[in-house]
Amino acid sequence: MYRLDADIEDALHSWAIHAINQVSIGVLSEVSIASLTGNDFIQVFWDKPNTDRPNYPYATLNILSGPEDIGGVVEKYKELDTWEYYTRKKITVQVNIYSFENWIGMLNLLINSLKLPSYRQIYQLKNLAFHTIAGLQDLSELLDTKYIGRAQCELVFSYPEVLTDKPGEIHKVTIIGTFDNEYEITDTINIDD
């Protein structure tokens, strides 16, 4: 899995934890809620964690694609010998919900949280912008003797990136040479003048 800047990953992870634990209260049965305790309410992991599979329900996040440039580049002169280039990067984040009950409902409520200001501010504080949803799927399957529910979707976000270039501008040129095989030339030209 590709990894992003820690601030961006933390913002996405915080949004998912906050949203899924708030929205799931309305769609899980009292038995399921009672089986979840304290900090283990509904855990959210980056895909393929270096831990054992958690108890159900839980969610995973995965960077499917990106970051890739979208739109143009805005060039700005910052100071002597320094230019800044402003770009936007797009990423696609896959979200999976694993549960024994109402996995589609949990994912739909999580998706709806992207439109609510109290949840949106979590990822917007790190300059992330949500764009679109793709590929909502029910990938449930029978494992051993239990039916494991899995709902999946892909969310597209973008964020700004500033690139700084210090090209070493030319401020002075010195000319040394012979003109018409007769005249020796040594001259310095200050470009800033």
Q: What is the pLDDT of residues 72-96, one digit of tens each?
A: 888 887 777 788 899 999 999 999 9
User: In sequence order, which ranges of the chain are alpha helices (DSSP H)?
Assistant: 6-23, 30-35, 103-113, 117-124
- 13, 62 contact by CB (below 8 A): no
Copy the structure tokens of residue 113.
């949280």
Residue 35: its pLDDT value, please?
Answer: 47
Q: What is the pLDDT of residues 11-29, one digit of tens each?
A: 888 888 878 777 555 555 4
State which amino acid sits at residue 139.
L
Residue 157: its pLDDT value, please?
Answer: 93
- 170, 90 contact by CB (below 8 A): no
Percent of the chain exceeding pLDDT 90 equals 15
Q: What is the pLDDT of residues 155-164, one digit of tens each?
A: 999 999 988 8
3-state secondary structure of 97: strand
**What whole-number distance in Å separates Cα of residue 11 and Cα of residue 158?**
13
Q: What is the pLDDT of residues 127-163, one digit of tens each?
A: 999 999 987 898 888 877 778 899 999 999 999 998 8
Locate the domains of the chain by residue range. 6-190
